[in-house]
Structure formats: C-alpha cells, structure tokens
C-alpha cells in the first residue's frame, strides 16, 4: 500500500495550478501523470481536480531513463482523450510526441519536469494574472527591439541582434484548447539572430547540468558561439559537457527573462530561469522557438542583477525593471 502524507500547502498550490493556470471546469477530463519521485504532487493534483468536479484520472508511470523519452502507449492515448493533462515527472515529457499529439487535438497540457514539493509550493503560490501582464509587457519590448546589450558588475558585456525575431511568452497560463507549456510559468524569451552575439557573459547564478554555482563561469563569445570558457571546476564541467556535442552546442541560442516574483535560484533550472530580476542565456538548440540551430542539448545559464538595454533603452537596471 502506498502512503502519501497530505500537505495543505501543496493542496493550496494545486488549486492555483488547476484553476488559475489550467482553467479546469467541472466535468472536464483531467489526467494527472506522475512517477514515483513526483507521486506526492501528482496525488495532491488528483485530489484537487476531483474536488473541483473534474473527471480526474491519476496515472503513474515508471521513471523514464532520460528527458524526452516517450511515456507508455496507454498513457499517450489517455493524454489525447483528455481535456487537461498535468505531468509532474522526474524526467521531462515536454518534448515528446505524446505531448505534441495531445496539444494538436486541443488538450491543455502542463509539464512539471523535475519539480520538487518546495518549488511547487513556492512558485505556484502567486498571482498568475500579474505574471501574464508582466510577461506580455517584457515580451512586447523584445518583439519591437533590434539590439540587446547585457551588462553586469561581475563582468558581463554582451551584445546581439533580435531583429526579425518574435518573443515567446511562457506565462504558466494554459486555458485555451491546445495551449501547452511548463509549470511553474513565467518567462519571456527569444532566439538571438545566429552569428550576431559578441562579448563576455559571466554566469553567476546557476547552470543547467551543473546546478547552483560556487564560482562564476565566464563565456567568451565571438560571432554567435562560445569560443572560450574560464573559471573553476564548474567551468571545466561545462566545457566537458559541451565538447561531446560539437560546435552547435556552443551556439548562443536563447535570451530569456524570468517573471515569477516567488521563484528563487535553487539549482533546478525549471525554477531558476523563472526568477524575476534575473536573465538567462542558453547554449545549443533554438529551432523549436524561432531560431535555426538544431542541437542535441539546450543549457540555460542564469545571470543575476543584470542591466539590459534594448536599442539603447533600459529594460532592467541592476536587476530592477525600468519600463
């Protein structure tokens, strides 16, 4: 028999996830997909969906071996038959055919890869209406911009073009048929024009594949690619990771801005990239959000307290929003 300890704080956060973020209505078919590490969050979501009058189904899968591995076929079929799917799983099913086909059929899908109970409580105990407004406001500035410059007191001084590119809005609110994304929400992000990034980036928050950084990682960037990595052991680890995947893994793939005021840097990139007052620069693939580079990896690096200028106008000054 499986014992799950009921936690009121998780249950409250489930209400925000289901009502504010997913817009669950009475009578809708809501499928919760979890695995053993995420069982507690999954079970609480199922309880809350049931309380809201949904036709709630809980499905537990074996943990996948890697991010992006397909869920079992019966689960994929259940996803396509649902109105709403929430998937707190230890390995991501975000970039799977099962999720893609469900969204194409009009299912609203939220994936929560690797989320912890503390992160779930913290990042879903906020006003997602305000997050939507903030994310849209920042994304509109990016949509209308051509040149980005990022400067920090730690030594970052990076410039690149976003001309002709459109910003993506990861608001954490998926209420319309076919809308999909991560929970927690909140970031505005864009693919820099390939080959235009030049300068220095100092990652001082956290790095995907590594976690919270003890020492900053310095990236020297020329014509859109990381040409040199400097720092301590964590910089060496990043260099080792990138060396396995060829030059395109070193592409400057993404410029993102966190918009969740409750998120904090925890070492889990799902949360870290959402922290309001930080930005992130990602390396590798950007083909699925407006770029041209297909690479087998996508690694986000979090930068704290940035000054960001769009076409010479301040968007952030030392981590504080100016517009």
- The pairing of strands 147-151 and 108-111 is unpaired
pLDDT tens for 185-209 read: 899 999 999 999 999 999 999 999 8
pLDDT at 1 over 60: no
User: Which among 181, 158, 150, 151 has a CA at the least distance from the CA of 168?
Assistant: 181
pTM of the model: 0.89
Domains recognised in the chain with CATH numbers: 8-123 (3.40.1830.10), 128-321 (no CATH)
φ, ψ at 295 (rounded to 5°) = -135, 160
Examine the pLDDT at 217 and tell me if it is beyond 60: yes
N residues, the chain: 323
Average pLDDT over residues 221-230: 98
Residues 6 or more apart whose CB falls under 8 angstroms from that of 317 comprise 307
Q: CA-to-CA distance for 215 and 209, rounded, in angstroms?
A: 15
**Residue 55's pLDDT band (boundaries 50, 70, 90)?**
very high
Would you state the pLDDT for residue 287? 87
- Distance, in Å, from the CA atom of 312 to the CA atom of 130, rounded to the nearest integer, reads 27
Mean pLDDT, rounded, of the chain: 95
pLDDT of residue 67: 79
Mean predicted confidence (pLDDT) in 93-105? 91
CA distances from 284 to 47, 137, 224, 299 (A): 39, 27, 11, 7
CB 147 within 8 A of CB 310: yes
The model's confidence at residue 2, banded by pLDDT at 50, 70 and 90, is confident
Average pLDDT over residues 237-245: 95
Q: What is the mean pLDDT of residues 249-270?
A: 96
The 10s digit of each residue's pLDDT in 270-311 is 999 999 999 999 999 998 889 999 888 889 999 999 999 999
Please tell me the least confidently modeled range out of 57-61, 88-92, 93-97, 147-151: 93-97
**Which candidate, 308, 118, 317, 301, places its Cα nearest to that of 211?**
301
Could you give the strand order of the β-sheet that contains 198-203, starting from the edge strand earlier in sequence?
225-230, 217-222, 198-203, 157-161, 147-151, 307-310, 313-317, 320-321
Tokens (6 digits) for 140: 């509109």
> What's the pLDDT band for 68 if we cut at 50, 70, 90?
confident
């Amino acid at each position: 028999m499986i014992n799950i300890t009921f936690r009121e704080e998780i249950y409250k956060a489930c209400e925000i996830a289901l009502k504010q973020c997913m817009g669950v209505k009475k009578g809708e078919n809501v499928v919760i997909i979890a695995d053993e590490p995420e069982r507690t969050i999954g079970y609480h979501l199922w309880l809350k969906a049931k309380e809201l009058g949904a036709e709630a189904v809980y499905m537990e899968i074996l943990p996948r071996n890697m991010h992006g591995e397909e869920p079992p076929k019966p689960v994929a079929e259940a996803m396509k038959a649902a109105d709403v799917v929430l998937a707190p799983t230890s390995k991501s099913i975000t970039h799977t055919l099962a999720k893609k086909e469900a969204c194409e059929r009009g299912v609203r899908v939220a994936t929560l890869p690797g989320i912890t109970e503390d992160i779930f409580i913290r990042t879903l105990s906020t006003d997602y209406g305000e997050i939507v407004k903030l994310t849209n406001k920042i994304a509109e500035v990016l949509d209308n911009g051509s040149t980005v410059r990022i400067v920090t007191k730690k030594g970052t001084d990076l410039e690149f073009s976003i001309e002709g590119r459109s910003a993506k809005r990861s608001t954490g609110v998926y209420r319309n048929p076919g809308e999909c994304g991560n929970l927690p929400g909140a970031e505005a992000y864009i693919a820099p024009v390939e080959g235009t990034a030049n300068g220095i980036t100092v990652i001082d928050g956290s790095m995907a594949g590594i976690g919270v950084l003890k020492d900053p990682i310095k990236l020297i960037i020329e014509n859109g690619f990381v040409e040199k990595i400097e720092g301590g052991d964590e910089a060496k680890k990043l260099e080792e990771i990138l060396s396995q995947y060829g030059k395109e893994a070193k592409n400057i793939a993404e410029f993102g801005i966190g918009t969740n005021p409750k998120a904090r840097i925890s070492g889990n990139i799902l949360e870290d990239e959402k922290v309001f007052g930080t930005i992130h620069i990602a390396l590798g693939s950007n083909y699925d959000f407006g770029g041209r580079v297909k690479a087998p990896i996508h690694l986000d690096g979090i930068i704290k307290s940035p000054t960001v200028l769009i076409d010479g106008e301040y968007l952030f000054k030392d981590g504080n929003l100016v517009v």
